[in-house]
Amino acid sequence: MKRRQFMGASVAALAAAAVGTPALAESKGKIYYMVPTLLDEFQTESVSAIEKFLKDVGYEPVTLNADNKTDLQQSQMNDTILLQPKAIVLAAVDFNAIQPSIEKARAAGIPVMIFDRQITSTMCDFTSVAGTVEIGYVAAGEAQRLLTERKGGVKGKILQVLGDPADPYTLDIQKGFEEKMKPFPDVQIISLPAMQWEASNAGTIVADQIVANPDIDLIFNHAAHLSVAAVAALEAKGKKPGEVMMMSSNGAPVGLDLIRKGWLNVEVEQPLYAQAAAIAMFADKVVNKQEIKPGTYNVLGLESNLAIEAWGPNLKIPGAAITKDNVDEPRFWGNLKAPADPVKSVE
């Protein structure tokens, strides 16, 4: 599917592009998706998923790519407001810089739904995010299982390679992981950050720690691309697949490939497809300004919790553990096969 990209497009250009989008039968109207960038597989697959699921529930999606430029996304938001779409779905380049545009859209009667990159500084109409602390919980459960299978109990040494310490995503995963590992005093966790999420930094950490702590049983990387660098570091030290157990947490295609090759035991998925499906499931309620009730919702088979927060309705979706036994299932976004079954609006 060809991606639409608008480089500082004018209102007229946006309108022309919207008119040129193939109309759906009895379309409920246009919903614009503001994607921050198309430079990684998570973002490109988010476009496919959000467009597919919005069409399932009768809307005509239009995607605008900000190319990771704050000023471009601000311009796209402000121009789109003049077109009066049914709603805007936003994954922000810069949380703080985009706040005035969110407030301007809502003041104009256009609801704003937040996808993936949570914004808590201003009111929004709906937020769909991964439960990052919960990802840490799932990872901890898998670590306990792996240690028990190999060592007969939850004991040993874990190297935890975080992403950038300024990123709440990695801090939340660390919080959940360490909370669930705390009851096991025979487990030592060494936590070090890969600054700027640079894979090379993760590789250096693993290479150094394998020398300093040759008895490391398990490496937990907070993203699949960090695991690629970790594997290279282990190979350079003469390690074979499976000799040191390894996990990571976002579900990218490279992580699934490492599972198939035997280097990675578990990948805890960031639930991209469910996050996108939730946007579509609640679109009618958001567009029609109907009450969204807190509680538990089943989103593509994942039990997800919706709470009414200070910034609006907030749905947190947990990740699932991917192993060699289920790695080929299409429900995982790393296989790049969005679910074929249509989603349905929440009643």
Distance, C-alpha 24 to centroid of its chain: 28
Dist CA 214 CA 238 (whole Å): 12
Choices 3.40.50.2300, 3.20.20.30, 3.40.50.300, 3.30.43.10: CATH for 132-268: 3.40.50.2300
Nearest Cα neighbor of 330 from 288, 300, 297, 289 is: 300
Q: Specify whether the CB–CB gap between 160 and 174 falls below 8 A.
A: yes
Kindly report, residue by residue over 109-146, the tens digit of the pLDDT: 999 999 999 999 999 999 999 999 999 999 999 999 99
- Token pair, residue 126, equals 């709906």
CATH homologous superfamily of 11-124+271-317: Response regulator (3.40.50.2300)
Domain parsing of the chain, residue ranges: 11-124+271-317, 132-268
Please list the residues that pair with 246 across neighbouring strands: 219
The band of 9, judged by pLDDT with boundaries at 50, 70 and 90, is very low
10 Å Cβ neighbour count for 83? 14
Enumerate the H helices of the chain as residue ranges.
Answer: 11-20, 41-56, 70-83, 99-107, 132-151, 168-181, 199-212, 224-236, 253-260, 272-281, 283-287
Mean pLDDT of the chain: 92
Kindly report, residue by residue over 68-119, the tens digit of the pLDDT: 999 999 999 999 999 999 999 999 999 889 999 999 999 999 999 999 999 9
Under 8 Å CB-to-CB from 7, ≥6 apart: which residues? Answer: 67, 72
Distance, C-alpha 72 to centroid of its chain: 22
The two domains 11-124+271-317 and 132-268 share their CATH topology (first three levels equal): yes
* Residue 161, phi then psi, degrees to nearest 5: -100, 105
Dist CA 261 CA 111 (whole Å): 45
Predicted structure pTM score: 0.84
